[in-house]
Amino acid sequence: MAKVITDSVSIAANTRNPDVLSGKRNALISNRGEGAAIAIYSTGSAIGLFMETFVGEDSVVERSAVNIQNRVPVVPDDIVVSRVAGLPNDRITMPVENTTGGALTFFYRVEVEDL
């Protein structure tokens, strides 16, 4: 059974949120089993948002522009990566940057399926 994190966050003008998943319990992969398979979906309210994703020390999404849909991500349309491997006790981190002069909203969905 997959654990799901779905949320939205406002990113202020010309700022970077170092980890939109900070404080989310399911962003830490369980230490039971062999790890997890991770899928990430995202959308943004307007052009100018950029995201990265790390699983443990591994960069799984290099700095990339966010899809402009201004809504919660739709599965499977808004997938960024699918079936990324995470090891036990790895933390998923997702920095998001706003390069515009106004606040923008970043919408995301992260699925973590224990193996």
**Tokens standing for residue 107:** 């919408």
Distance CA 85, CA 43 (A): 22
What mean pLDDT is predicted for residues 14-31?
96
Q: For residue 64, what are the CA distances in angstroms to 19, 74, 88, 115?
A: 15, 19, 26, 28
pLDDT over 90 at 39, yes or no:
yes
Torsion region of 77: left, alpha or beta (phi above 0 gives left; psi -120 to 50 gives alpha):
alpha
CA proximity to 94, closest of 30, 3, 8: 8
pLDDT in tens, 71-105: 999 999 999 999 999 999 999 999 999 999 999 99
pLDDT over 90 at 1, yes or no:
no
Q: Hey, which residues does 54 pair with through a beta bridge?
A: 59, 93
Name the pTM for this structure: 0.95
The per-residue pLDDT for 43 is 98
Tell me, which fold does domain 2-114 have in CATH? Jelly Rolls (2.60.120)
